């Protein structure tokens, strides 16, 4: 199943629904134990608990209470614990008493040489950047100090993932019951997210989610015993130009690597495409292209009258269409080309292309912006970035954290378009196709990189390896279908 992400209000409602668990303090006790366990795990991983020291940065309210109770448990396990109280008059009284009874120390500033610091400044109700006292406490830390955030890194908006300047950057974020949207939208700021079961039920409308590796693998179009090249999906690529033939090569390569069906190509770069990929059925004219089950149009196409005519021709065909790159520039001036289409459309803009389509920049709330554009145009929109967001016109969203930025290289988007287009041709929905393609694309980038910069050709070559790692799960999915 996908992993779902909730708003702050949905989390609060789920907490209220527990009744006595909330009012009796049981939820807080469970949360604090989860924080303490995460800190102990970090200490154990780096040498054990003997002689180790932990700092707490404590704000007002329950988030600080979770951290204080966790500090008391750590102190009872023999860890030296010091706490800085940013708002002494608003500090959680019972949590503070528990810490002091256990032998924790209250300090004006954090000692040097701490092994772990716990961010208990603000939780899901926080807005805006860190205030000066909190910012100073975290700025003074050694870069080798592990930071564990309670619920969310302070300075990160729970719903939009907007990161304040400054904000805490956590190595580990411990959260409770359900994941918050910021854990997806600001994944890099959160570090590893540990989800602690504290007894909450299902929460939220479950419209924002992320696919898991297992789900992508199980539903990838792996050929079964009765499949042939046509049942696997025939994708048509309209890309490249005399000036940019490489875009056509990369896009068709992505499509071929994604499935074992058939790839057709239309465009001036047909000779270059066939030279690199002789299995492609290539032509320079639509009349010779043959039938397809989905089109990809735009990478390296240009934006002149001929390119516009090709985008118009593709969108007139009532099969799923993916529009990328130069095709998006054409659509920005010709949005009427989408009018009246019954078949699905997937647009794959980066931030600049998004601004041309929407008439304004993405802004800090990428989730809301992506949803709004999808609803306005009646299409599915894939907004590229380290956190890729895919939204359909009904407001459902899949996000994917690439885990790195190695795919931020020229031509990588052409590969992504080919992968997603092949999935559309195989009958996958635009929402799923975009999200699954983004996940495989990111996995391929990490495999190709090995920690060093790569080019788009390197990424393309790693796509089969990225899929091969999921082969057993994928074959199981094919047999189930």
Annotated binding site: 62-66, 119, 123-129, 151, 154, 247, 300, 350, 384-388, 413-414
Q: Which residues pair with 398 in a beta bridge?
A: 209, 390
- Number of neighbours of residue 85 by Cβ within 10 angstroms: 20
**What is the C-alpha to C-alpha distance for residues 280 and 289, in angstroms, rounded to an integer?**
11
| Coil/strand/helix, residue 166 | coil
Which residues fall in the annotated binding site for K(+)? 63, 119, 154
How does DSSP assign 206-237, residue by residue? --EEE--HHHHHHHS----TT--TTTT-EEEE
Counting every residue written for the chain, the total comes to 481
Q: Which of 26, 30, 33, 27 is nearest to 12 (CA)?
A: 27
Specify burial of residue 150 (Cβ count, 10 A radius: 0-12, 13-18, 19+): buried
Instruction: Tell me if the bond preceding 262 is cis, omega within 30° of 0.
Output: no
Which residues fall in the annotated binding site for (6S)-NADPHX? 62-66, 123-129, 151, 247, 300, 350, 414
Both structure tokens of 345: 């459309």
**What is the C-alpha to C-alpha distance for residues 315 and 161, in angstroms, rounded to an integer?**
35
Contact in structure between 332 and 325 (CB atoms under 8 Å)? no
Contact in structure between 68 and 58 (CB atoms under 8 Å)? yes
**What is the C-alpha to C-alpha distance for residues 85 and 89, in angstroms, rounded to an integer?**
9
**What is the C-alpha to C-alpha distance for residues 311 and 298, in angstroms, rounded to an integer?**
7
Contact in structure between 300 and 326 (CB atoms under 8 Å)? yes
| Coil/strand/helix, residue 345 | strand
Which residues fall in the annotated binding site for AMP? 384-388, 413
Q: Which residues pair with 281 in a beta bridge?
A: 264
Both structure tokens of 441: 């694309």
Rg (CA), the chain: 25
Going from the C-alpha of 116 to that of each of 55, 65, 111, 133, 223, the distances in angstroms are 6, 18, 11, 19, 49
- Number of neighbours of residue 281 by Cβ within 10 angstroms: 17
Q: Which of 251, 332, 321 is nearest to 293 (CA)?
A: 321
Q: Which residues pair with 210 in a beta bridge?
A: 3
């Amino acid at each position: 199943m996908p992993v779902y992400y909730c708003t702050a209000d949905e989390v609060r409602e789920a907490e209220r629904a527990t009744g006595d668990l909330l009012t009796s303090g049981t939820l807080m006790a469970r949360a604090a134990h989860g924080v303490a366990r995460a800190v102990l795990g970090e200490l154990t991983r780096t040498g054990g608990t003997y002689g180790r020291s932990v700092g707490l940065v404590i704000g007002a309210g329950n988030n600080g209470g979770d951290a204080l109770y966790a500090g008391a448990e750590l102190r009872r396990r023999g860890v030296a614990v010091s706490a800085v109280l940013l708002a002494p008059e608003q500090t959680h009284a019972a949590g503070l008493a528990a810490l002091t009874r256990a032998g924790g120390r209250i300090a004006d500033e954090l000692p040097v040489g701490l092994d772990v610091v716990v961010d208990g400044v603000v939780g899901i109700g926080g807005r805006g950047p860190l205030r000066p006292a909190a910012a100073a406490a975290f700025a003074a830390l050694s870069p080798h100090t592990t930071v564990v955030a309670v619920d969310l890194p302070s300075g990160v908006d729970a719903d939009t993932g907007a990161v304040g300047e400054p904000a805490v950057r956590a190595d580990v974020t411990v959260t409770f019951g359900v994941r918050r949207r910021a854990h997806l939208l600001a994944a890099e700021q959160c570090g590893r997210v540990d989800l602690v079961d504290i007894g909450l039920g299902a929460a939220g409308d479950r419209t924002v989610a992320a696919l898991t590796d297992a789900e992508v693998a199980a539903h990838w179009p792996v050929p079964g015993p009765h499949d042939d090249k046509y049942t696997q999906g025939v994708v048509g690529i309209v890309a490249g130009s005399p000036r940019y033939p490489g875009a056509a090569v990369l896009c068709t390569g992505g499509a071929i690597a994604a499935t074992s069906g058939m790839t057709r190509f239309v465009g001036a770069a047909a000779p270059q495409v066939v030279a690199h990929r002789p299995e492609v059925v290539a032509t320079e004219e639509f009349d010779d292209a043959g039938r397809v089950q989905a089109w990809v149009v735009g990478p390296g196409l240009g934006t002149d009258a001929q390119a516009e005519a090709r985008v118009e021709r593709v969108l007139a065909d009532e099969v799923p269409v993916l529009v990328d790159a130069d095709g998006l520039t054409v659509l920005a001036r010709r949005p009427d080309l989408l009018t009246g289409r019954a078949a699905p459309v997937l647009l794959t803009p980066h931030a600049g292309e998004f601004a041309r389509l929407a008439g304004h920049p993405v802004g800090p709330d990428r989730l809301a912006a992506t949803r709004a554009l999808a609803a306005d145009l009646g299409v599915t929109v894939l907004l590229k970035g380290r956190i890729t967001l895919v939204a359909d016109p009904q407001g459902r969203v899949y996000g994917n954290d690439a885990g790195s930025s190695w795919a931020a290289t020229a031509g990588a988007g052409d590969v992504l378009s080919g992968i997603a287009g092949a999935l559309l041709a195989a009958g996958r929905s635009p929402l799923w196709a975009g999200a699954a393609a983004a996940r495989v694309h990111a996995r391929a980038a990490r495999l190709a990189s090995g920690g060093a910069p790569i080019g788009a050709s390197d990424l393309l070559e790693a796509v089969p390896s990225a899929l091969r790692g999921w082969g057993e799960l994928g074959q199981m999915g094919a047999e189930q279908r």
